[in-house]
Amino acid sequence: MDLLNTLVDKGLRRELPTREEALAVLATSDDELLEVVAAAGKVRRHWFGRRVKLNYLVNLKSGLCPEDCSYCSQRLGSKADILKYTWLKPEEASKAAAAGVAGGAKRVCLVASGRGPTDRDVERVSKTIEAIKEGNEGVEVCACLGLLSDGQAERLRSAGADAYNHNLNTSEATYGDITTTHTYADRVDTVNKAHAAGLSACSGLIAGMGESDEDLVDVVFALRELDPDSVPVNFLIPFEGTPLAQEWNLTPQRALRILAMVRFVCPDVEVRLAGGREVHLRTLQPLALHLANSIFLGDYLTSEGQAGKADLEMLADAGFEVEGAGTTTLPEHRVDAAAAGGCGTGGGCGSGDVCGTSAEAGAPAEGDAAAPGARPDLVAVRRRGAGTDLAPNA
Dist CA 78 CA 95 (whole Å): 29
- Write down the catalytic residue from 202, 266, 349, 355: 202
pLDDT of residue 27: 98
341 pLDDT tier (thresholds 50, 70, 90): low
Q: Can 266 be counted among the known catalytic residues?
A: no
What mean pLDDT comes out for the span 222-243?
Answer: 90
* Residue 374 or residue 151, greater confidence: 151
Domain presence at residue 59: yes
Domain presence at residue 394: no
Task: Count up the domains in the chain and report the number.
Answer: 1
- Write down the catalytic residue from 44, 65, 107, 263: 65
- Write down the catalytic residue from 69, 144, 343, 349: 69
pLDDT of residue 381: 78
Q: Can 202 be counted among the known catalytic residues?
A: yes
Q: Can 343 be counted among the known catalytic residues?
A: no
- Write down the catalytic residue from 44, 75, 107, 109: 109
Please check if 349 is assigned to a binding site: no
342 pLDDT tier (thresholds 50, 70, 90): very low
pLDDT of residue 356: 37
CATH no. for residue 298? 3.20.20.70
Q: Can 109 be counted among the known catalytic residues?
A: yes
Please check if 72 is assigned to a binding site: yes
Q: Can 355 be counted among the known catalytic residues?
A: no
Is the model's pLDDT at 8 over the cut of 70?
yes
pLDDT of residue 353: 41
pLDDT of residue 299: 87
Domain presence at residue 387: no
- Write down the catalytic residue from 72, 144, 343, 349: 72
Dist CA 177 CA 180 (whole Å): 7
Indicate the DSSP class of residue 162. -
pLDDT of residue 340: 63
Is the model's pLDDT at 366 over the cut of 60?
no
Is the model's pLDDT at 223 over the cut of 60?
yes
Domain presence at residue 389: no
Is the model's pLDDT at 142 over the cut of 80?
yes
Q: In this structure, which amino acid lies at residue 50? A: R
Please check if 142 is assigned to a binding site: yes
Please check if 75 is assigned to a binding site: no
18 pLDDT tier (thresholds 50, 70, 90): very high
Mind listing the pLDDT tens digit for each residue in 73-112?
Answer: 777 666 666 778 889 999 999 999 999 999 999 999 999 9
Closest CA to 94 of 106, 105, 110: 110
Percent of the chain, pLDDT > 70? Answer: 89
Percent of the chain, pLDDT > 90? Answer: 69
* Residue 262 or residue 362, greater confidence: 262
Dist CA 90 CA 227 (whole Å): 32
Domain presence at residue 383: no
Q: Which of 71-75, 129-133, 367-371 has the lowest mean pLDDT?
A: 367-371
- Give me the domain span that covers residue 92: 2-378
Domain presence at residue 116: yes
Q: Which of 69-73, 255-259, 374-378 has the lowest mean pLDDT?
A: 374-378
- Write down the catalytic residue from 75, 107, 272, 334: 272
Dist CA 332 CA 213 (whole Å): 32
Mind listing the pLDDT tens digit for each residue in 26-50?
Answer: 999 999 999 999 999 999 999 999 9
Mind listing the pLDDT tens digit for each residue in 263-307?
Answer: 999 999 999 999 999 999 999 999 999 999 999 998 888 778 888
* Residue 350 or residue 48, greater confidence: 48
Please check if 355 is assigned to a binding site: no
Beta strands in 20-137 (DSSP E): 51-61, 107-112
320 pLDDT tier (thresholds 50, 70, 90): very high
Domain presence at residue 26: yes
Dist CA 382 CA 298 (whole Å): 11
Dist CA 168 CA 194 (whole Å): 14
Domain presence at residue 392: no
Phi, psi of 228 (to 5 degrees): -70, 160
Angle between the N-to-C axes of helices 152-159 and 184-196, in degrees from 0 to 180, rounded to the nearest 10: 40
Q: Can 272 be counted among the known catalytic residues?
A: yes
71 pLDDT tier (thresholds 50, 70, 90): confident
Q: Can 72 be counted among the known catalytic residues?
A: yes
